Structure 1
């Protein structure tokens, strides 16, 4: 006779807050564990034979990632990278499914919706991580809403649904003076960062890239930002020993912060959801390092 026992081990999140880049913590993935118990009776001429029991226990880990803004420049790169790693992907964006054909597009579950009004049951149930690329430029109120409030809503929804990890694509501060960082764009981003690190102190990730380059699609056209970003990144990295003394000057990073490939940002986000020791705030250099881990 064979009997099957199934049970779930769901991790709990610590409540203390930290903004450090690397810490050690228990695994943050949902783990489905199943035990198989097989019982058999030995066939002999004796009537008092004792049954024997064999227990087999195995751990199975699966990733189910929700990408907010998955149809955008950075979001689509993250979706593509996740699919390549065999991760189940759900994208939530107002525009829904991309119009251009690609094999990876077919493997993403595209949901059209707004984070302020979406039915979270459709996207967050069973998710192991949320990656938010929400952000934009506009009026002060618009920037506070999309960069800040929209992400705050998403963070709290993820927390309510028991999603163990949240990754936010934020922005480098470029060493700007405080009066420039008071704009709606930066205040919105920092508000979102604070919410991530508060609700996910030991599993929340904030990536702060500078200028992101790659092939960006706008209204059906492809803008090759990599033609400018890639050579500029190489030049700045080759001369960083000479320009380093200038880094303390206000707003110096507007010229000196190296651009980051959209593929590196995507791979760093993938590393964030797969590495349990990866949480906190990550700089441009740390984003590159995290991307290299996934490339290997």
Structure 2
């Protein structure tokens, strides 16, 4: 959902609805007289003979100029020329005076529409991200090998589901118009399979997004659990770390790496719902309550396998939404930082 900002004085242009509200500016951007402005306006916008804020001249000394006070009075063509994207505009009543002074028009516009591509969008984490994103008004495209989920849910119809594989997909079709890419790609298997899924697949996606000019890339990675180095060198963790390095090198000022621990929620597998929250939610509460007591133990090898708090999949999804909509949100985020980012969106 685009951020709402007050439009500045200037020309109507794509992505925002900006209306001249002073006779100090004209369509060419120069300082001109009232008469010059109207003449230039007619040349720039022949279908709209007078600026929205300026009444036409009176037909006689006894007649009074009139002009529609709301944009709804204009034709659809005029509307589309003034508001190039979906915007929310509010206008003050245009009171017309004999001295033809300008009437201020307040405009609030959605100047940025987010369009997010979620890789692995039909999975456990990916579907939660898609659901959270559409609930915030973000346009979502999902790319996954399974395509559209088979279970019914109202938010599913609001997502564009594309079946495909990151190694063979048509990136031009997938990434067109996107403002961010979110990758939830990951999995287990043999050493070679884990390197390919967790590392190579994500690296391919990062490079495709960068070459296409996508401004932000968000990677769902994994907490290292303070594991010994010989475990972290395995295909799963080393693949994830290679993908992280690619994100941070290609997107040094906008790349996002989220490192959750155990992710819980209601997970669907082959039509069955697995209530991971029955385990994860109580564990999160207990570990959060005793956090001050367990911190001294965090230096012990693999201690986080016991003491790292789980993360609700909905919180992880909201953290992603925060990353998508906030240009100042980038870098590597720990479990606690993920929860803090989610809390900011909940408010």
Could you say which TM-score interval applies, normalised by the shorter chain? 0.7 to 0.9
Find the counterpart in structure 1 of residue 291 from structure 2.
240
CA shift for structure 1 position 118: 0.4
In the other structure, the counterpart of 1:121 is 172
Question: Where do residues 90-169 of structure 1 align in structure 2 (5 Å cutoff)?
Answer: 90-169=141-220
Shift of 1:60: 1.5
Displacement, 1:177? 1.0
Q: Do the aligned residues in 2 keep the contact of 1:212 with 1:260 (CA within 8 Å)?
A: yes
1:273 to 301, 324, 327: 324
- Structure 1 partner of 2:334: 283
Task: Note closer, same or farther for the CA distance 1:139–1:55 as it changes in structure 2 (3 Å cut).
Answer: farther
Alpha-carbon distance in 2 for matches of 1:59, 1:104: 22
Residue of 67, 74, 80 corresponding to 2:125: 74
- Written as runs of structure 1 = structure 2, the 5 A alignment for 1:1-296 is 32-33=15-16, 37=27, 39=51, 42=57, 60-296=111-347
Structure 2 runs not aligned, ≥5 long = 1-9, 20-26, 28-49, 61-100
Q: CA deviation at 1:91?
A: 0.3
| Structure 1 unaligned regions, length at least 5 | 9-31, 46-51
* Conserved? CA contact 1:134–1:146, under 8 Å: yes
RMSD: 2.2
Task: Return the structure number with greater strand share.
Answer: 1
Paired residues, what number? 266
Q: Does the CA-based 8 Å contact 1:35-1:55 persist in structure 2?
A: no
Tell me how far 1:121 sits from its aligned partner: 1.8
Change (3 A) 1:145 1:54: farther
1:152-195 per-residue CA deviation (whole Å, 9 max, x = no partner) reads 11111111111111100000000011111000001110010001
1:7 shift after superposition: 5.2
Return the alpha-carbon distance in structure 1 between the equivalents of residues 104 and 235 of structure 2. Answer: 58
SS at the partner of 1:237? Answer: helix
CA distance in 1, matches of 2:280, 2:12: 51
- 1:258, CA displacement in angstroms? 0.4
Give the secondary-structure state (helix, strand or coil) at the position aligned to 1:180.
helix
Output one character per residue of 1:128-170: Cα deviation in whole Å (capped at 9) or x when no partner.
1111000000011111111011111111111111111110000
Structure with more relative contact order (C-alpha pairs < 8 Å, separation 6 or more):
1
C-alpha deviation, 1:123, in angstroms: 1.3
Given that 1:168 and 1:196 are in contact with CA atoms closer than 8 Å, whether structure 2 keeps it comes out as yes
User: Alpha-carbon deviation of 1:276?
Assistant: 1.4
